Chain A
Amino acid sequence: SAVISQKPSRDICQRGTSLTIQCQVDSQVTMMFWYRQQPGQSLTLIATANQGSEATYESGFVIDKFPISRPNLTFSTLTVSNMSPEDSSIYLCSVEGSSGSTEQFFGPGTRLTVL
């Protein structure tokens, strides 16, 4: 399976600021996914990111709040904009196991606390 890294691993931010989270994969992948995991909760898909096209957002998530970049087949960023304490969560990126596969492999996550 692919090796996935995320930066930063954790951060504490002030209300109203923005944070960009990076996800790096050690191999080329078609689809990357961004999830949010609120404290004590399960994973919720934010958006799907394909290289060379706009990200596809799930219901309840909008591009202005969570802009995503996918400049190449090994890298993606998720920005959490104009943060509030409700944005305090773990943000996870994942990649599909192989082209067309249902299996996904996850990065270690970014733990965000907003004061």
Chain B
Amino acid sequence: GQQLNQSPQSMFIQEGEDVSMNCTSSSIFNTWLWYKQEPGEGPVLLIALYKAGELTSNGRLTAQFGITRKDSFLNISASIPSDVGIYFCAGPSTARQLTFGSGTQLTVLP
């Protein structure tokens, strides 16, 4: 089946710094989704991408759908303590099922 490789596995950054994480696929995706999961909660959808080359923002978050359709990037600008959590990329393994990346654990230091 399709596999998603997400990196980095974890990040420790200072408050105010920018963050970048990425996800690559072994095959072409038509959709890329980015989720954030906080402790004790389910994943929350942050950004959905539907077109190769698409760049979409949600506040301080920006995500891009790679031109090759095999990768996607998520950037967080000017990080704040509430950005702490695990960020997952996801893409459709079938028309309506999702495959998730391994996650990026983000820690923001004051």
Given A92-B42, A102-B33, A106-B43, are A33 and B97 neighbors across the interface (CB < 8 Å)? Answer: yes
- A interface residue numbers (CB < 8 A to B): 1, 4, 31, 33, 41-45, 48, 92, 94, 96-97, 100-109, 111
- Chain B residue total in the interface (Cβ 8 A): 22
13 residue pairs of the A-B complex, CB under 8 angstroms, read A41-B102, A43-B88, A45-B98, A92-B42, A100-B95, A100-B96, A102-B31, A102-B48, A104-B45, A105-B45, A108-B41, A108-B42, A111-B40
Query: Which of A1, A42, A100, A101 sits near B103, CB closer than 8 Å?
Result: A42
Contact B48 A103 (CB under 8 A): yes
Contact A31 B96 (CB under 8 A): yes
Q: Is B66's CB within 8 Å of the partner chain A?
A: no
